Amino acid sequence: MNDEQTLQQAEKLLAPFNKETLHPETHRLDVVVTSEDLHAAVTALHDAKWGYLCAITGLDNGPEANNLEALYHFAQDSVVTTLRVRAPRSPAASVPTIADIIPPAVFFERELHEMLGFDVKGLSDSSRLFLPDDFPPEVYPMRADFKQDQPVPVIEVGSETFPNEPTKIGNTFIVPIGPQHPALKEPGHFEFTVDGEVVTGVRMRLGYAHRGIEKAAESRNWIQNLYLFERVCGICSHIHATAYCMGVENLAHVEVPARAQAIRELVSGLERIHSHLLWLGVAAHEAGFDTLFMYSWRDRETVMNILENLTGNRVHYSANVLGGVKFDVDLEHARTIKEGLDYLEGRVRHYLEVVTTDAMLLQRTRGIGTITRAEAERYGLLGPTARASGVIRDIRVEAPYGAYHRFPISAIVETAGDLEARLVVRLKEMLVSCFTLRTIVDNLPAGELTARMPRKVPAGETISRVEAPRGELFYFIKSNGTENPARVHIRTPSLCNWTSVLEKAVGHQLADIPMMIAGMDPCFSCNDRLVTVVRPNESRTWTWRELREYGIEHYRDLKNISEA
Amino acid sequence: MNIISSLFTLLIFPAGLTILLVGLFYEWMDRKLVARFQNRVGPRWFQPLADAVKLFSKEQIEPPVMTALLFFGLPITAIAGALAAGLYVPMLGLAPSYSFPGDLVVTLYLLSLMTLSIGLAGWNMTSRFSLVGATRTLTQLCAYEAPFLLALLGPALAAGSWQISEVNAYASQHWMILTQPVGFVVALIGLMGKLELPPFDAPEAETEIVAGALTEYSGRGLAFFNLGKSVELIIGLTLVSSFYLGGLTSLPLFLIKTIALLGLMALLQSLLARLRIDQTVGLWWRYGALLGLVQIGFMIAWR
């Protein structure tokens, strides 16, 4: 079925509820429905097995327009259908919950509720997910009239509002994991109810790294935001920047040169290898297999060195600019990349053998946390977690973007759905990346590196979907024709994959939980959209020694101040 | 004079301080070997001692506990038990300081006192990590104790004595690793279980329960437990190598044999992933105990 037919099918399914239809882009359908019809419309799409729910975006059109919009994005292959529900700002805009049809929607709806103040009717759990506990109620940070530097009156934190968390219910204990815990490299909070060693219940709380990056984007211009979004995630910074750039270029109708697109794919492939090797180490550590952890992190240095050699940076490669990339790949780079890839390919093949044959490790991975194909689809899983359960969910294959038309990749799919399959999928993906990257390096199209970008971006809305190492990354960008974006909404893959832990933990041993959490490769920073913007007034080059001395001085000063 | 020489034996040489220092040295070797196997640099030679000194100089934080007496008493029991066990083994290839028929059983119980103390220490806490860790420590104790005992009984049966010095003397004539290979394997793995080394480190699995039973311990209390573990390491190595690796009759032999055994253990530690506690128990009772029994049955039939 081609895009045209897919679109027509969606249009036909939604015809009974359709109040207004738009085709903002060739592969998109935008349908306005009333909030009464929403549930029925979602049911129609779901029953016809048309696509999956990508994200729910909340929009505030400002006090003058006096309406809020909730955008329900469904995607099938490269086609995106958006159900648009309009509601007045006051009294509280209300939409019905769709979590009874699509369970993972509960996270999106909780976000919609706490960020924009939508009253989601029938939401099973409306407790805070991202915002801190002392954030005042009925203040919604993503509303247009909420200013970024607006002082927020913090509510009193007393023992009445926050009773000590219970430690025991009957004969079962509650084991808290996080926000500070050796199993978690980033802050998140889980409460596992355990009966002996068996988990009987689980609760989750996120947002410890939330810095309001989406809001911050609204007060920065298009170019500044590139650097902001690069810092959403410390591991997959390139893919965030790529998603943002693609969206903005789309809005501005700028065609990125082929060479720049190929270099973008090259960096994202290297980033994937780096991310998967990092994950392999973490997963091995959670399983108590520290030797594998140490070795995989040692080998990760190879790809980090390649990236540093290519871009000058080890973590935030900063490869993208709006309209292209910053640097070229010359013959010397190509040689280093290929040498590194040869070494890495050998290592990855070795690890693949280890994880599929090591009897002790298999005891901890084979048949643990199994997610069937039907469950994976129901939970709306993404990326390698979904592909380990036999669901082909890979944007690079379903909806190729950028250079993936010229340098396609093959999706790796395993059917077992257990932790072993998740290990195997990621390792095989590294092999695929090694192969594709060599092809790219050998066949880089000639041409310019950048295209000219206008300073102001024409008004409009766009969606860009890319495949991050953890799964589909979704950006919704709205421009109102000025130098700043009107709204940027990010849905990271980790948010969709939480269900794989929350639904599957019950019945497993406590010892398997860290592995299962690691199994989906959670990225709390992406999830919470962390940002730290440090803006030095002057730029200068520091040596390690100077940097170290500065650090010592800085903390000495801090200490003096606190003592005085 | 007699009292002074006894005190010297107990506190300085060959028990007491000597065992502590040798234990710390072996702990360093273990850490260094594992680090090298894992492609890391590893600690410097005085690191375990420095750790101990640092812990002793730090504040001991007193968390809410069930019984304060147990909180302060258990670390001392643990290290006292481990040090007392050192009196009955051929430490540094010397004859044991004290010896009487049946001291093998006493030594094994003294060694278990340490594990029991850790278990009780965790139990005494209100912290949930400590409680889960304590449960796991004691579960594991029940799992490896019987097979480990059986594995050490094999050589004792062959020597016809339950006295460590006599078994050691008999072993110096017979390499029992050759005649009782199964027993040796069970003893080696049992020792790793006793020391809670990977893959039997579920009781202190940091990614699940932080530091297990000892999560709430700090300062002096933690230092005592850590020293106790080092002492247990060296005593366990001494016992197993004296029983199975042709006896320990001189200092060079002691060093060669115990270090070889330590090297083997370090290799196993780096090669294996952590077992879940149910898998540990299953492994011991399904295979360990069975193999130990077969070995003992074989010994009885042979005699």
- A165 to chain B: which residues are within 8 Å by CB? none
For residue A160, the model assigns a pLDDT of: 40
Q: What is the pLDDT of residues A458-469, one digit of tens each?
A: 888 899 999 988
More confident residue, B243 or A90: B243
pLDDT in tens, A351-363: 999 888 888 888 8
Q: pLDDT value at position A531?
A: 29
Mind telling me how many Å the CA of B286 is from chain A's nearest CA? 16
What tokens appear for A395 in the block? 């944007």
Instruction: From chain B, pick out residues whose CB is under 8 angstroms from the CB of A291.
Output: 37-38, 270-271
Comparing A419 with A540, the larger pLDDT belongs to A419
User: Quick one: pLDDT at residue A249?
Assistant: 92
C-beta neighbour count of A334 within 10 angstroms = 16
ipTM of the shown complex: 0.84
Q: Tell me: the pLDDT tens digits for B73-130?
A: 899 999 988 888 888 888 887 777 788 888 888 888 888 888 899 999 888 887 888 8
The answer to whether the peptide bond before residue B14 is cis (omega within 30 degrees of 0) is yes
Contact A472, A391 (CB under 8 A): no
Which member of B135, B198, B207 has the closest CB to residue A182?
Answer: B207
CB distance B284 to B193 below 8 Å: yes
pLDDT at A532: 28
SS3 A113: helix
Interchain CB distance below 8 Å, B38 and A291: yes
Single-letter amino acid, residue A449: L
Question: B interface mutation test: which of A175, A291, A358 has the most B CBs within 10 A?
Answer: A291
A520, amino acid identity: M
Which of 496-515 (A) contact B at CB < 8 A? 509-514
User: Which of B276, B278, B279, B286 is best to mutate for the A interface (most A CBs within 10 A)?
Assistant: B276
Measure the CA–CA gap between A504 and A309, rounded to whole angstroms: 42
> How many pairs of residues across A and B have Cβ atoms under 8 Å apart?
83
Length reported for chain A: 564
Give the model confidence (pLDDT) of A258-310 as tens digits. Answer: 999 999 999 999 999 999 999 899 888 888 888 899 999 999 999 998 998 88
In 10 A of CB A66, how many CB atoms? 11
Q: Calculate the average pLDDT of chain A.
A: 82
- What pTM did the predictor assign? 0.84
- Portion 326-385 of A in contact with B at CB < 8 A: 358, 360-361, 363-364
CA-nearest residue to A299 within chain B is: B39
All residues of chain A having their beta carbon less than 8 Å from the beta carbon of residue B39 are 294-295, 298
SS3 B163: coil
Q: Within an 8 Å CB–CB cutoff, is residue A289 touching chain B?
A: yes
Q: Is A298 an interface residue toward B (CB < 8 Å)? A: yes
Q: What are phi and psi of B253, to 5 degrees?
A: -60, -45
Angle between helices B47-57 and B17-37 (to 10 degrees): 120
- Compare CB distances from B278 to A290, A358, A509 and report the shortest one's residue: A509
Residues of B in contact with A509 (CB under 8 A): 276-278
Degrees, nearest 5: CA angle B128-B131-B132: 90
What are the pLDDT digits (tens) for A177-194? Answer: 777 777 777 777 788 888
Q: Is the pLDDT of residue A168 over 80?
A: no
Task: Categorize the per-residue pLDDT at A158 as very low, low, confident or very high, splitting at 50, 70 and 90.
Answer: very low
**Among B40, B132, B199, whose Cβ lies nearest the Cβ of A294?**
B40
Q: What is the pLDDT of residues A22-40, one digit of tens each?
A: 888 888 888 888 888 888 8
Say if strands A172-177 and A52-60 run parallel, antiparallel, or are unpaired: unpaired
DSSP character at residue A563 = H
Kindly tell me the sign of the dihedral angle through the C-alpha atoms of A106, A370, A419, B189: positive
Do B97 and B9 touch, CB atoms closer than 8 A?
A: yes
Give A481-503 pLDDT, tens digit per residue. 888 898 899 888 888 787 777 77
In DSSP terms, which residues pair with A194 in a beta bridge?
Answer: A173, A199
Task: Say how many residues make up chain B.
Answer: 303
Q: Taking residues A516-542, report their average pLDDT.
A: 55
- Short-list A269, A226, A268, CA closest to A477: A226
Percentage of the residues of chain A whose pLDDT score is greater than 70: 90
Do residues A172 and B132 make contact, with C-beta atoms less than 8 angstroms apart?
no
pLDDT at A528: 55
The chain A residue lying nearest B38, using CA atoms, is A291
Q: Annotate A157-225 with three-state secondary structure.
A: CCCCCCCCCCCEECCEEEEEECCCCCCCCCCCEEEEEEECCEEEEEEEECCCCCCCHHHHHHCCCHHHH
Could you give the domains of chain A? Answer: 3-121 (3.30.460.80), 213-528 (1.10.645.10)
Q: Could you give the CA distance from residue A265 to residue A402 in angstroms, rounded to a whole number?
A: 8
> Where does the pLDDT of residue A170 fall: very low under 50, low under 70, confident under 90, or very high at 90 and above?
low
The neighbour count for residue A558, using CB atoms within 10 Å, is 10
Which pLDDT tens digit goes with each residue over A406-446? 888 888 888 888 888 989 999 999 999 999 999 999 998 88
Report the alpha-carbon angle A260-A261-A267, nearest 5: 90
Contact A61, A68 (CB under 8 A): yes
| Measured distance CA(A288)–CA(A225) in Å, rounded | 40
Lowest-pLDDT range, A364-368, A487-491, A534-538, B298-302?
A534-538
Tell me the three-class secondary structure of A385-436, residue by residue: HHHCCCCCCCHHHHCCCHHHCCCCCCCCCCCCCCHHHHHHHHHHHHHHHHHH
Are residues A421 and A389 in contact, defined by beta-carbon separation less than 8 angstroms? yes
Whether A159 shows a pLDDT value over 50: the answer reads no
pLDDT bin (cut points 50, 70, 90) of residue A540 is low
Looking only at the bridges linking them, the beta strands covering A119-121 and A94-96 are: parallel
Query: What are the CA-CA distances from residue A104 to residues A56, A439, A503, A556, B91 (Å)?
Result: 11, 38, 11, 48, 63
Query: Cα separation of A244 and B222, whole Å?
Result: 51
Is cis: bond before A485, omega within 30 of 0?
no
What local confidence, expressed as pLDDT, does residue B94 receive?
79
**Of A75-79, A530-534, B73-77, where does mean pLDDT reach its minimum?**
A530-534
Contacts of B202 in chain A (CB under 8 A): 288, 511
3-state secondary structure of A69: strand
> Would the CA dihedral through A258, A260, A265, A270 be positive or negative?
positive
The answer to whether residue A207 scores a pLDDT higher than 80 is no
Nearest-CA distance A287 → chain B (Å) = 6
The span from the CA of B287 to the CA of B182, in Å, is 11
Per-position pLDDT tens, chain B of length 303? 588 888 877 777 777 888 899 999 999 999 999 999 998 888 999 999 999 999 999 888 888 777 888 888 899 999 988 888 888 888 887 777 788 888 888 888 888 888 899 999 888 887 888 888 888 898 888 888 888 888 888 888 888 888 888 888 888 887 878 778 888 888 888 898 888 888 888 888 777 778 888 888 888 889 999 999 999 999 999 989 888 888 788 888 888 889 999 999 999 988 888 888 888 888 888 888 888 888 888 878 877
Q: Which amino acid type is present at position A527?
A: N
Given this model, what pLDDT does residue A526 score? 56
Chain A's closest residue to B129, CA to CA, is: A175
8 Å CB contact between B249 and B177: no
* Burial classification of residue A562, based on how many CB atoms lie within 10 Å of its CB (0-12 exposed, 13-18 middle, 19 or more buried): exposed
